[in-house]
Amino acid sequence: MSQFITSDGTTLFYRDAGHGQPILFAASWAMDSRAWGRYMLHFQARGFRCIALDRRGHGRSDDPGHGYQLDRLADDLAELAEHLDLRDAIVITHSMASGECVRMLARHGCSRFARAAFLAPVAPSYAEGSRAPWSMDEATTNLAVAAIARDLPQWLAANADDFFLPADTGTTPEYVRYTIDCILDASLQALVECFRAKRVDQRAELAALELPLLVIHGDRDASEPVQQGRALAALVQGTRYLEYAGAPHGLYHTHFERIVADIEAFIGETAAS
């Protein structure tokens, strides 16, 4: 297995396949590298090296019982990039991982990365006093965390339809079940603490970001409202922003073909500029 040991002694698992320009994939809250399986196959066939990390407490990585704050999660990504000596890499994230990526670039710089793509990103700020009306407030966060801690399987089942919009997107019951099963592999402590980890203000970090960025958001996202993608794109100079009509939060699955086409176009355009 592909593993490395972080600076705080945690062993993390990652998938690494293919040859060529590297793409580093980072999954959403509760998900692991398995979320990117189809993307890795697709981009490997197009001459890229594809790497996807299991966040600590998720998948095959260690569950150390600590380190679920944004700084440490960002350091994990940076240390993987250093371990593999990635150069001219592309980073592709979904949901919560956009915040981890922004913090990684703020703490460690952009020297290893050429461009980034954020799918359904988190809000620029969840901090009270700087939070926009459409981003989750602290009281709502506390209610969600309590429900997750009390009965995670029930909470996942109750939110699956909004996440995938299966009746409209053709997502099968089997894929919904597969996603839930992947999440149930994760540490409950990791899930709870990572859910809270995004409650930060990253507006200054976003404004200072200096690499080409693609943001894709769906206008039927019930988890991270579309206004978040719009606000994030407005903060990062030169961002290319794409809004998908009818797309839910799980658009990485429901709109796979369109996303890979848009990412490939973005890579080609920014490489030529």
Q: Annotated catalytic sites, by residue?
A: 95, 221, 249
Whole-angstrom Cα distance, residue 56 to residue 91? 18
List the structure tokens of 253.
């699955």
Angular region, 34: left φ>0, alpha ψ -120 to 50, beta rest: alpha
**CA 92 to CA 52: how far, in whole Å?**
10
Question: Alpha helix locations (H) across 45-108?
Answer: 70-83, 97-108
Sign of CA dihedral 259, 76, 123, 173: positive
Residues 6+ apart with CB under 8 A from 151: none
Q: Are 238 and 273 in contact (CB under 8 A)?
A: no
Q: Which strand (E) or helix (H) includes residue 244?
A: strand 240-244
Give how far Cα 14 sits from Cα of 34, 48, 67, 195, Å: 10, 16, 18, 22
- What are the two backbone dihedrals, phi and then psi, of residue 90, each rounded to the nearest 5 degrees? -105, 135
In sign, the C-alpha dihedral spanning 239, 242, 247, 250 is negative
